[in-house]
Amino acid sequence: MSLQTRVLGSIALLLVLALLGGSAALVLNARAAAQTEVHTAFHGAAESVRDTMKGNVAHTVTLREVVASFEGQRHVRAALVNEDGRVIVQSQIAQLDNPAPGWFAWLIEPAPLSITIPINLPQFPCVLQLLTDPRSEMAQSWGHVVTAFLTMLAFCAGAMAVVSLAFRHALRHLKDLQAGMLDVSRGHYQTRLEARGAPEFAELADGFNHMAGRLEQFSDSNRRLEQQINQVQEEERAGIARDLHDEVGPYLFALQVDASALVKSTEPETRGRGQAIRDAVMHIQQQVKDILRQLRPASELEFGLEAAIADQILFWSRRYPAIRFERSVGSDLALDRRGEDTALRIVQEGLSNAVRHGNPGLIRVVIAGQPDGVRVSVEDDGGGLKQSAAGLSQMGLPGLEERVRALDGRFIVEDLPGKGVRLVALLPDRRVREVA
């Protein structure tokens, strides 16, 4: 149940309870007031009739006048009854425009009172009866209660409307905050909230902005750090490659020359050994060349990304002839030199992981342009991600993620259990990145 529903529901419940309590109090008041009003009127009337009767009531005309004086009264009725119990004449209370409903009358009706006054007229023995009639009083109370109830109802409805408006207003700020949090969790650290509304919300927005600002700073400095690390790594690899090339290369060449000289010997055994040494040296030379390519793939980019990827595939296909390699590299990709370098590293690590950790029959490399950048994917059918074996450095995938993040791209490792692994990188359009 949402917070809004809970709070508004609780307030509505309280208001309904208050309404019920108020209505009960109104009914109790009305009941007490009706009783007082009707009984007071009755006692007053009885007193006055008794006073009249003390005088000389010599004929029925006077008695009829007494009864008629009660005509249209609100609380008391009078009747003249003869000795046979027949009503000779009786008064009626005033006409009721809006009588109280039965249930309300039942709730507040006062106890009935009556009095019988014997009249000593020798030729017309009779009695004068007075009795309470609360209908008029109850109709009046009903009117008051309805008015008071409607007033309370209007107040409750107004209070509910004001509270729900205030709540909706407050929730709007919370929704802004929620959207901002979501944005930040997606890495959009430039998101800021407008500090408006109640001071509490303005403070919340200030706090959020401060947090997003700090995250933006951290993210910038992280990115710079990653770039520096990548650069240092590049330089280190380049240094190792240079050393390998400069230190080992000449000696291998010298060995090859010496072995060639031995091959020309007249001694058959020396000739045979010379040939074996020359074959071994040529093999080492080929290995060193491959290692140099691995260490300095960027240099291969001088012939373009497609050529560099073809080289990588050749490197592995020579060693794993049973694996089928497929490649598709789109033309005119929106990548700058760093983007191409990153794409090549992804392919390099993807190929190496697939042959080392999976048991694939097919490895597919696809680099394709997209409206907002370039999608690089390396996919194998080697059975899915394996548990990492102890002793492996496991720096490959995290390193790729850092590289891609340094370019503001996205990197995903998709595990397709039973099928294989797919590395996907979305590298932003170089024009977007250059503007940023």
Ligand X SMILES: Nc1ncnc2c1ncn2[C@@H]1O[C@H](COP(=O)(O)OP(=O)(O)OP(=O)(O)O)[C@@H](O)[C@H]1O
Contact 421, 382 (CB under 8 A): yes
Nearer to Mg ion, 42 or 325 (CB): 325
CA–CA dist 317, 413 (Å, integer): 23
- Report which residue's Cβ sits closest to ligand X: 396
Q: Does 74 bind ligand X (CB under 6 A)?
A: no
* Residue 373 contacts which entry, Mg ion, ligand X, none (Cβ below 5-8 A, type-dependent): none
Q: How many residues bind ligand X (CB under 6 A)?
A: 17
Q: Does 396 bind ligand X (CB under 6 A)?
A: yes
Burial class (CB in 10 A: 0-12, 13-18, 19+), 192: middle
* Residue 358 contacts which entry, ligand X, Mg ion, none (Cβ below 5-8 A, type-dependent): ligand X
| Coil, strand or helix at 362 | strand
Contact 157, 164 (CB under 8 A): no
Minimum gap (Å) between residue 406 Cβ and Mg ion: 19
Q: Which stretch binds ligand X (CB under 6 A): 36-44, 107-115, 189-197, 380-388?
A: 380-388
* Residue 178 contacts which entry, ligand X, Mg ion, none (Cβ below 5-8 A, type-dependent): none
Nearer to ligand X, 340 or 402 (CB): 402
Complete DSSP assignment for 302-356: GG-HHHHHHHHHHHHHHH-TTSEEEEEE-SS-S--HHHHHHHHHHHHHHHHHHHH
* Residue 119 contacts which entry, ligand X, Mg ion, none (Cβ below 5-8 A, type-dependent): none
Q: Which residues contact 284 (CB under 8 A, 6 or more apart)?
A: 252
Q: Does 382 bind ligand X (CB under 6 A)?
A: yes
Q: Which stretch binds ligand X (CB under 6 A): 112-120, 155-163, 278-286, 388-396?
A: 388-396
Q: In terms of DSSP bridges, do strands 324-329 and 362-370 run parallel, antiparallel, or are they unpaired? A: parallel
Kindly write out the interface string for residues 340-379 of this chain, putting x where it contacts ligand X by CB under 6 A and - elsewhere.
Answer: -------------xx--xx---------------------
Nearest partner of 133 among 71, 63, 62, 49, judged by Cα: 71
Kindly write out the interface string for residues 403-432 of this chain, putting x where it contacts ligand X by CB under 6 A and - elsewhere.
Answer: ------------------x-----------
Minimum gap (Å) between residue 161 Cβ and ligand X: 60
Contact 78, 64 (CB under 8 A): no
Structure tokens at 2: 């949402």
DSSP-assigned beta bridge partners for residue 117: 128
Minimum gap (Å) between residue 210 Cβ and Mg ion: 40
Binder of ligand X out of 10, 178, 231, 388 (CB under 6 A)? 388
Nearer to ligand X, 224 or 356 (CB): 356
Binder of ligand X out of 270, 385, 401, 419 (CB under 6 A)? 385
Kindly write out the interface string for residues 371-400 of this chain, putting x where it contacts Mg ion by CB under 5 A and - elsewhere.
Answer: -------------------------x----
CA distances 170 to 6, 163, 182, 202, Å, are 15, 10, 19, 11
Residues 339 to 368 in contact with Mg ion, rule: CB under 5 A: 353
> How many residues appear in the chain?
436
Structure tokens at 324: 């089928």
CA–CA dist 312, 327 (Å, integer): 11
* Residue 395 contacts which entry, ligand X, Mg ion, none (Cβ below 5-8 A, type-dependent): ligand X
Q: Which residues contact 105 (CB under 8 A, 6 or more apart)?
A: 135, 138
Contact 342, 404 (CB under 8 A): yes
Structure tokens at 365: 């490399």
* Residue 265 contacts which entry, ligand X, Mg ion, none (Cβ below 5-8 A, type-dependent): none
Q: Which residues bind ligand X (CB under 6 A)?
A: 353-354, 357-358, 380, 382, 385-388, 392-397, 421
- Interface positions with Mg ion (CB under 5 A): 353, 396
